[in-house]
Every structure is written in C-alpha cells, then in structure tokens.
Amino acid sequence: MSFLDYFLGSRRKSASVAKDRLKLILAHERSDGTPDFLPALQEELLAVIGKYIPVEKDQISVNMERRGDFEVLELNVLFPDQH
C-alpha cells in the first residue's frame, strides 16, 4: 500500500476477499455438504406419510447437519389442521 493510498482510503484488498470466500467454501465442501440422497428421501417420506395423513410437499422438510462429532438427520412434518 502506498503513502497516497493511505490518505485516499483504498478499497478492501481483493486477496482478503479471496481468502474469506475460500474459507467458507472449503469448510462447506469438507463437511461433505448435503448428501445427494436427500431429495429422494424427502419424496419417499412424503409418499409414506401421505398414505396415512394428507400432507403437502412443502409441509415436510428433511435436513442433515453436522453437530460436533456426529451428524443429525432432522425430519419436520407439519400436520394440517384437524378441523
């Protein structure tokens, strides 16, 4: 950085932008990201639950996340109003 940059106030350096972007994407990719079977699992769960309770696709959500040393598969089903 030059003396004049100091007074003119320079924009954020692109290398530090690169580093921050890489930190995020590498952390995401190292954790294996989202397993690719999730959409299929969601479809099949919808079909099974749908046999017993009338639910819409957007009322089921399936998520996988890493917490500490283990992964948690989270299934949320929003039941329709009973009345």
Partner 1 sequence: MAKIVVVTSGKGGVGKTTTSAAFASGLAIRGFRTAVIDFDVGLRNLDLVMGCERRVVYDFINVIQGEAKLQQALIRDRMLEKLFILPTSQTRDKEALTAEGVARVMDELHGEFDYVVCDSPAGIETGALRALYHADEAIVVTNPEVSSVRDSDRILGILAAKSRRAEEGKEPVREHLLLTRYAPRRVQGGEMLSLEDVKELLRIPLLGVIPESETILQASNQGIPAIHMKGSEVAAAYEDVVARFLGEEKPLRFTQPEKPSFLKRLFGG
Site of interaction with partner 1 (CB under 8 A): 1-5, 13-16, 18-19, 21-23, 25-26, 29-30
Q: CA torsion sign, 18 to 23 to 28 to 31?
A: positive
Residue closer to partner 1, measured from CB, 3 or 52: 3
Residue closer to partner 1, measured from CB, 5 or 65: 5
What's the min distance (Å) between Cβ of 69 and partner 1?
18
Residue closer to partner 1, measured from CB, 3 or 70: 3
What's the min distance (Å) between Cβ of 73 and partner 1?
22
Residues 72 and 64 sit within 8 Å (Cβ to Cβ)? yes
What's the min distance (Å) between Cβ of 10 and partner 1?
8
